[in-house]
Every structure is written in C-alpha cells, then in structure tokens.
Amino acid sequence: MCAAVVLAVCLSASVASAQEWSAAQKDVWKSVEAYWALDAAGDLEGFMSYFHADYVGWSYDNPLPGNKATVRKFIDHEYKTGKTMVYDVKPAAIQVMGNFAFAHYYYSRVTKGADGKEESSQGRWTDILTKQGDRWVLIGDHGGRTKKN
C-alpha cells in the first residue's frame, strides 16, 4: 500500500515539474494548497470558507451533486470520525479565464479512522474556482478516489 502511494506521488511529480506556471496559475494553486492544508488540519470553518455560497460539486462517491450545506455535513462527520495523517497534491493543469479558473490535480492521502486503522487513497479532482477578494474559492468540483483498496 505504501509503495502505491510513493509511486503515485513520483508519477504526479513528473507531470507537475514538466510545466511552467504563470503568476495567475500559481495564485490559483496557492488557494488549492491552502484549503487542502485546512482540511488536513480538521479546520472546518477555515476549509468551508473556501466554498462559495453557490457551490455545487460532484464526487465520484455520490449519485448526485451536492451543495455547500451537504459538503459541510459530510466534512464535519469526517473530522469527528477520522484524521488525515499525511497528504500530497500535485497540479496537472490549471486554466485561468478572468475571474474563473479550473485546477486539475492528483492527490494522495493517508487517513486514520476511529478504529485506529490507516487507509491510503489516491485520486484526482477538478476544482472550479472563482476569485473572491484576494483568493480563489470553490464554486464547483468533480472527482475523488480513483480506485478502492
């Protein structure tokens, strides 16, 4: 399992390093890294502050898209029953179009459940962001774990 995480990180690193990012793309990625760090720290209010009021997203695990209130319920439950031990995110493509941006990226994460067991997961997300003040916030997303263990 650990070998799979290392392989995924190494492969995604080669994709990310093969591209030069513009200042606008770096700014988008700074927000993506910020909300992943808040999520990993279990900071519900900080993480949710990166979700636009009109957010609608669709994870691979869910049959239908969900709004900000739905995400909040599930994230709150996740924080109460588990913990992110380590994670890594690597950009694959970022497109900025005025006040909107699309960030496609890979992630690897190890979480510990309430039972004390650690679980590794890898996947990909497409985040759709809009500029709000000095940062980019999620107005939509799609993705998640790409395979079950």
Q: What is the tens place of the pLDDT at every residue in 85-137?
A: 999 999 999 999 999 999 999 999 999 999 999 999 999 999 999 999 999 99
- pTM score of the predicted model: 0.86
| Residues 72, 119 contacting (CB under 8 angstroms) | no
- Count up the domains in the chain and report the number: 1
| Phi (first) and psi of residue 29, to 5 degrees | -65, -35
Write the burial class of residue 98 (CB in 10 Å: 0-12 exposed, 13-18 middle, 19+ buried).
exposed
Q: What is the tens place of the pLDDT at every residue in 19-58?
A: 799 999 999 999 999 999 999 999 999 999 999 999 999 9
Show the domain range for 60.
2-145
Residue 5 has pLDDT above 90, yes or no: no
- DSSP state, 65? -
- The number of residues in the chain equals 149
Query: Residue 17's domain is classified under what CATH number?
Result: 3.10.450.50
Residue 103 and residue 94: Cα distance in Å, rounded?
Answer: 4
